[in-house]
C-alpha cells in the first residue's frame, strides 16, 4: 500500500509541475502556444480553464497522498515506528533487528 501511494504521489507531483509550467504568465502560456492569444484579453480560453481544473485535481491528489504517506510511515508496523520506539527505550540496535 505504501508503494502504491508513493508512486501516485510522485506522478501527481510531476504532473502538477508540468501543469503549473503550462499556465500563462502575463499573456503567454498554453493559450498562446496553440494560437488562442487573440482572445486572451477577453478572458481565459477553454484550454486555460481545463488546465486550471486539471492542475487543481493534481494538487488535491498530491496533498491527499502526502497526508496518507504521513500516516503510513508512522503506522504501528512500520520501520519508522520501530525507530521511534527504540529511541524512547534507549536502544537503536533493537529497531534495526
pLDDT at 47: 82
Residue 25 has pLDDT above 70, yes or no: no
* Predicted confidence band of residue 96 (pLDDT cuts 50, 70, 90): low
Write the DSSP string, 14-70. HHHHHHHHHS-SSS-SHHHHTT-GGGTTT---HHHHHHHHHHHHHHHHHHHHHHHHH
Residues in the chain: 97
- Full domain range(s) for residue 10: 2-96
Give the distance from CA 39 to its chain's centroid.
Answer: 31
The total number of structural domains in the chain stands at 1
User: 31 or 67, which is more confident?
Assistant: 67
Q: Rounded distance, CA 61 to CA 63, Å? A: 6
For the whole model, what pTM was predicted? 0.62
User: 23 or 76, which is more confident?
Assistant: 23
Amino acid at each position: 500500500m505504501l508503494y502504491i501511494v508513493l508512486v501516485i504521489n510522485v506522478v501527481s507531483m510531476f504532473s502538477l509541475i508540468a501543469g503549473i509550467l503550462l499556465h500563462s504568465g502575463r499573456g503567454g502560456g498554453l493559450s498562446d502556444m496553440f494560437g488562442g492569444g487573440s482572445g486572451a484579453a477577453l478572458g481565459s480560453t477553454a484550454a486555460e480553464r481545463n488546465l486550471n481544473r486539471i492542475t487543481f485535481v493534481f494538487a488535491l491528489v498530491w496533498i491527499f497522498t502526502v497526508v496518507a504517506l504521513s500516516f503510513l510511515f508512522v503506522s504501528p508496523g512500520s520501520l519508522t515506528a520501530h525507530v521511534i520506539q527504540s529511541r524512547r527505550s534507549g536502544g537503536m540496535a533493537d529497531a534495526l533487528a
